[in-house]
Structure 1
């Protein structure tokens, strides 16, 4: 049995987010019924296609919907939809890009059909707030979230996230929320509503750290092209003899090893280059880039990577999809799978981004055809319940502590990626106990103090953002008594999270094999760069390096120019979100079956799984996707355009000819719509460089906020690009409570990002600040383990608790 086996899911809509949500549930066992209609799922028209466009051979559609069943029901056939949803456990509803009141009413009606139904709603901006009825797209969701303002060259249009990251993150949020609701339903016997905003999914976990850092420390990350700003040099993408590599040495010892790898060049002893922070700014950064480029010109990507492994430097190649499918580590772990179309043709695709040891995701799935959607529907024969019954139950349970209340997690995850799964579970009501020690301080606690001049482990707002709602215990992992204490705690926990280097926990008897003997039903999430097994499992790895290794970096840049790379720690945050989904899914299976298991999360695999479209392009057409800037298939024009003011930009994405005519009219140039070079979407794509220049000359005359509202009044997908100082004040996010004020005992009032998704039975008014180091040691050991104060003080005196 798989975690979602015997659950029936009805999926309505053609958003990438709703499709990916359904894909995740289907992959782990759910029966997912995709509802299509005479208008067809628009993803069938987008491709990629192996030959000519064919709605039965769309690669993106196949990636998202392989393994599902397809049925044909018009959305205005309410009775048929109601009968179908009445027999379901989960409804996934992907709203259209343009708001439709009838669609909103349909979801409201379907979501209340029976008490046990879990209804997931995914839309660009959410179902509440001033922008909830505005038109949206992948481009505008990213723009509103604040994540795109930091990507690209300083004096050029910012670059959006590659492919459909807002959609994929919304899919993870929806699937995780559905799993949380299923766990809750096992004890309270009724369902929930899970509401996901694509913009909010990006603005919180993925971009929210920038708001926190700016609010408390005044740190503003600006676009720096092929580099990450505000970090010690090097954090950069540079050319080598056959492509590009990612240079990344966050620790001083790694920088020294990199210089040794180069043969300790004479310039490395120059006093001018002693400060790595000064090295990250002009003119030193340009001088050093030139020196590294000259040195790298003698090396291929793989030669460089081999050297890096030899010297334990966390740097490596920026790989493209044709290279990734040959990666020894991924092949050893059998990560790739396939999808099969109706004609028997199969294509290589990434697997799901987390490996569950007892219940791995299904592989080699069949893509449903439009003809199969005409098959008879297995309607429920039951009598439809009264519409208001679900609402009454929700009111009765709104005061609960969250859908994961009653679940206890021992969190040994640290720094950033390792902290996120525990943060997400704590946000949903789980009791998360963070393991720390003064003998090994979490790097996220370090940094320049904001109050006073003395170092203080309680003053890093970044740490506070990803460790809210947790408890902290101080345990020395170098002490046998400390380890024995943790093992006793494991026996009282449902799950364990860790992101140590593979092999370390085995040395101290804290790996899954050892802990599962203590608690056979234990679920353990292990996060690492490339996985717990395989020939390269022990390599040092950080987000920038893994962005290159996974192919994310290869997709970011301006068309026809050098690769710039994603230049933010998205590989880390994506791994944290993927890990949370895997952990919640494994917990659901544990509750249903009593069986524990090991969740192996490789950060590279998690990243590869959210760029599956790029692999379909290659396996279907033999073409490697190159950076396309802000252009997206199915739109025209689609981009970031300048507005009045310093570094002010607006995102505009045109889907229809009506929108194109309206755009030209709003910009005061109605005759542009009939220009011979721009008369249809195909011509606008063909001549997009010229078109973008003309549009830029028009948009730069307007205030970005006034223009965005004017365009939205014409149902045009448009949003201002927001920075950290703007995101937190944006009226939509303010009204939705996307960012939350928390009082910290040392720093006072702090602004932290809220949850990735909303659940009716979850609350945010009872959130707690991040714990002080070891704040809950005595409480946890006495209340959970029943230890006396004398026993606890003895462990303190032995430095087992420190």
Structure 2
């Protein structure tokens, strides 16, 4: 049972936060602050926010959006005209500890020349932009869909023949919001060193949901769009109908393939060389899918989930929103909470950063527009914020130590979030069981050629860390780890739920040596429930959220994003939760166990559909690439091979501009198309007009023509093209690094900039055991002789070795 929050212990109680501007990235950042107890003051323009009309609507008694209400629980609202009330807004901003400023998303970068707090900078300021403050795209008209397209997060989703899939815009906002929130919390912890202003690029933030693809490009393993539910060079990884319900499977290793073959009654295929590895199975994907479609219809999804789960095959139910809302594993964790707006009430996902008594709040009410005007035009202006002297140039988490026991993508990304912001992160591996992203095909070549040092994804996920090796299966290794933990502020782990307890290194054991420790655990469904031992990959997490049932084209099957989506989403959430817990630790001196669920971290991405189910008792059919509010909005084929353009007409003025670019005065003059509802009613006609125009020019040319007219548009970049994108190149986003065994490679930067510069990459990813002697010598006082003895006994080491080569204890 999840521990209830306590208003007196909420992690961010006492902070005053100003939220000014519109859009889901800003709103979700503010929601995270508000649901952890901060006093968040949302500034609303007199005409309101377009997202107040975003479906689903709550009903006639409360015509606002349920999604808008969910994004604004526990906030306060003031209505103000940015021009007429500029002086009062400046005074209000000067009473705030944190300012979240997204004015540039609507008004352009010029608005940032007038700081909202005037000449008195707040302790923390996060500025939201579409593309950053410089570079060729910086003046572009942005949107969540366009940023997603230009970031590489659309190209590989969908059918081979296209068009690629475009998910709900909220998903872009949540990813950007998590990164903005993490930076703000870290900056608040480092406020003693001076005020901090970070500028966020939404475009670069979205890239971090597909960052794995940049590693695959550099390893020569990147594949073109393979089709719906086909990715990562292995199969089967799909969603299948059963006798009752949908089942999601993700077959990666040979033992998993063997288990699947035995379960469906085809044991003769288990060791057939035609299916021996992921590449062979991918080459026969159509054949495998046909076999599975027949076999899986013989039993229910619940039966397959139980059977395959018992065989340790990554398998989950793919629930409808009605089924998701009823699942015990989520109900027991209070994963769905009440959302109210006026007299209307529904349920939405809880903020998935679980800190027990420190939050988050279990639901809340959204404010009526301007409900708090009187307070903030009166006594509210007397609040005195924390003031920082000068501008900090160091990183805010300097002096924080984290022990990283993670592997793959989600866990290392969580730890890297803190490392990028200045924490010292010590990554612990074993020479027998190194991080599986170094490689999992333990051939003789793997050891001889040190292939474990040459995986680009490992190098991207583990920057700014120091690396050591310890054999935790042996008493000496465990004892050394405990000594490191005794000096650390936090431990992050993403092992299977049974691993650390078997080693005697569970939360209780670690807290015994360090009562103030923050411990982050992040299994698929959280700890302590019936599904805690479920095996999962990033695709599995996405399947279990139900999101694929609402992604893709109406006439297609349920569709995953094809980017192991659950991994980066889980990592971003775990990183934010880690920083929040460290903030509480600094205030109280107390540690805590963070019992996170990576599936639960996916649920905010599904919030529009969860809320629709709660409000209306059903969810509408998938709309493909169309938008609930804007039209035309979609993805159109251009003249080049597999060349695509995303465009989103967000205002009536943009519609007139689009007609001018298309050379269609007839459409511009059509009274039925002057406003968005009329355009939505004639989308087939408008799609045809845009498609005919786009087909005659390259996507880059089309983007430039539309952007010059002020229409939000962007190329659907593939990751290989993205790595030579002129905007990212001009901004220095790609940093050229050098590392032993691989030479030079490219790493992306954080999407946040301070003083116009990316946050520094202070340390390339460690080679195996690179810093063992340094860390154990500095932190534990081991002598050179002691270090040599540990290496001789293979408790530590700098070369991977087979399990059979382990020295006996």
**C-alpha deviations, 1:636-671, integer Å up to 9, x for none?**
010011112110111100012221122122122332
* Structure 1 SS opposite 2:371: helix
**C-alpha deviations, 1:205-228, integer Å up to 9, x for none?**
2122212321x2223332223232
CA distance in structure 2 between the aligned counterparts of 1:104 and 1:383, rounded to whole angstroms = 24
Mapped pair 1:568 → 2:563: yes
Match of 1:587 in 2: 582
Mapped pair 1:437 → 2:430: yes
CA distance in structure 2 between the aligned counterparts of 1:111 and 1:785, rounded to whole angstroms = 49
Report the Cα offset of residue 625 of structure 1: 4.3
Report the Cα offset of residue 269 of structure 1: 6.4
**C-alpha deviations, 1:208-259, integer Å up to 9, x for none?**
2212321x22233322232323422212223333453322111111111111
Superposition map of 1:183-222 within 5 A: 183-185=189-191, 187-188=192-193, 190-203=194-207, 205-214=208-217, 216-222=218-224
**C-alpha deviations, 1:18-75, integer Å up to 9, x for none?**
01000001111111011112121222222321334945x3211111101011112211
Closer, same or farther: CA 762–133 of 1 in aligned 2, 3 Å: closer
**C-alpha deviations, 1:533-564, integer Å up to 9, x for none?**
21111111111122111122222110243212
Closer, same or farther: CA 690–245 of 1 in aligned 2, 3 Å: farther
Mapped pair 1:635 → 2:630: yes
CA distance in structure 1 between the aligned counterparts of 2:307 and 2:383, rounded to whole angstroms = 66
CA distance in structure 1 between the aligned counterparts of 2:276 and 2:591, rounded to whole angstroms = 51
Report the Cα offset of residue 349 of structure 1: 1.1
Mapped pair 1:787 → 2:787: no
Structure 2 gaps of 5+ residues are 1-8, 798-809
Query: Out of 402, 415, 423, which is 2:416 matched to?
Result: 423
Query: Out of 48, 57, 62, which is 2:69 matched to?
Result: 62
Closer, same or farther: CA 630–459 of 1 in aligned 2, 3 Å: same
Match of 1:2 in 2: 10
Match of 1:801 in 2: 796
Superposition map of 1:265-664 within 5 A: 271-281=273-283, 284-343=284-343, 345-377=344-376, 378-381=379-382, 393-394=390-391, 397-398=392-393, 400=394, 402-446=395-439, 454-664=449-659
Closer, same or farther: CA 461–477 of 1 in aligned 2, 3 Å: same
* Structure 2 SS opposite 1:149: coil
* Structure 1 SS opposite 2:484: helix
CA distance in structure 2 between the aligned counterparts of 1:543 and 1:111, rounded to whole angstroms = 44
Closer, same or farther: CA 274–460 of 1 in aligned 2, 3 Å: closer
Asked if the contact 1:142–1:161 (Cα under 8 Å) also holds between the matched residues in 2, the reply is no
**C-alpha deviations, 1:280-322, integer Å up to 9, x for none?**
02xx211111111111222332232222223221122322211
* Structure 2 SS opposite 1:338: strand
* Structure 1 SS opposite 2:541: helix
Report the Cα offset of residue 762 of structure 1: 7.9
Closer, same or farther: CA 666–452 of 1 in aligned 2, 3 Å: farther
Mapped pair 1:247 → 2:245: no
**C-alpha deviations, 1:297-355, integer Å up to 9, x for none?**
22332232222223221122322211111112111222221112222x32111111121
Aligned positions, number: 784
Tell which deviates more after alignment, 450-459 or 694-703.
450-459
* Structure 2 SS opposite 1:563: coil
Closer, same or farther: CA 763–663 of 1 in aligned 2, 3 Å: closer
Asked if the contact 1:49–1:621 (Cα under 8 Å) also holds between the matched residues in 2, the reply is no
Closer, same or farther: CA 763–148 of 1 in aligned 2, 3 Å: closer
Structure 1 gaps of 5+ residues are none
Asked if the contact 1:333–1:533 (Cα under 8 Å) also holds between the matched residues in 2, the reply is no
Report the Cα offset of residue 365 of structure 1: 0.8
Question: TM-score if structure 2 supplies the norm length?
Answer: 0.92
Match of 2:164 in 1: 158
CA distance in structure 1 between the aligned counterparts of 2:693 and 2:459, rounded to whole angstroms = 43
Closer, same or farther: CA 264–19 of 1 in aligned 2, 3 Å: same
Closer, same or farther: CA 102–586 of 1 in aligned 2, 3 Å: same
CA distance in structure 1 between the aligned counterparts of 2:384 and 2:590, rounded to whole angstroms = 36
Closer, same or farther: CA 591–269 of 1 in aligned 2, 3 Å: closer
**C-alpha deviations, 1:140-180, integer Å up to 9, x for none?**
01001101001010112111233421111111111111101
CA distance in structure 2 between the aligned counterparts of 1:336 and 1:160, rounded to whole angstroms = 26
Report the Cα offset of residue 490 of structure 1: 0.4
Asked if the contact 1:45–1:54 (Cα under 8 Å) also holds between the matched residues in 2, the reply is no
CA distance in structure 2 between the aligned counterparts of 1:240 and 1:509, rounded to whole angstroms = 40
Match of 2:102 in 1: 94
Match of 2:686 in 1: 691
Question: TM-score if structure 1 supplies the norm length?
Answer: 0.93
CA distance in structure 2 between the aligned counterparts of 1:672 and 1:220, rounded to whole angstroms = 42
Tell which deviates more after alignment, 453-462 or 522-531.
453-462
* Structure 2 SS opposite 1:791: helix
Closer, same or farther: CA 112–541 of 1 in aligned 2, 3 Å: farther
CA distance in structure 2 between the aligned counterparts of 1:179 and 1:297, rounded to whole angstroms = 48
Asked if the contact 1:677–1:683 (Cα under 8 Å) also holds between the matched residues in 2, the reply is yes
Asked if the contact 2:95–2:385 (Cα under 8 Å) also holds between the matched residues in 1, the reply is no
Query: Out of 692, 709, 725, which is 1:730 matched to?
Result: 725
Query: Out of 131, 137, 145, which is 2:137 matched to?
Result: 131
CA distance in structure 1 between the aligned counterparts of 2:673 and 2:87, rounded to whole angstroms = 43
RMSD value, Cα: 2.4
CA distance in structure 1 between the aligned counterparts of 2:622 and 2:686, rounded to whole angstroms = 19
* Structure 1 SS opposite 2:522: strand
Asked if the contact 1:415–1:444 (Cα under 8 Å) also holds between the matched residues in 2, the reply is yes
Closer, same or farther: CA 782–39 of 1 in aligned 2, 3 Å: same
Mapped pair 1:712 → 2:707: yes
* Structure 1 SS opposite 2:326: coil
Closer, same or farther: CA 224–166 of 1 in aligned 2, 3 Å: same
Asked if the contact 2:425–2:466 (Cα under 8 Å) also holds between the matched residues in 1, the reply is yes
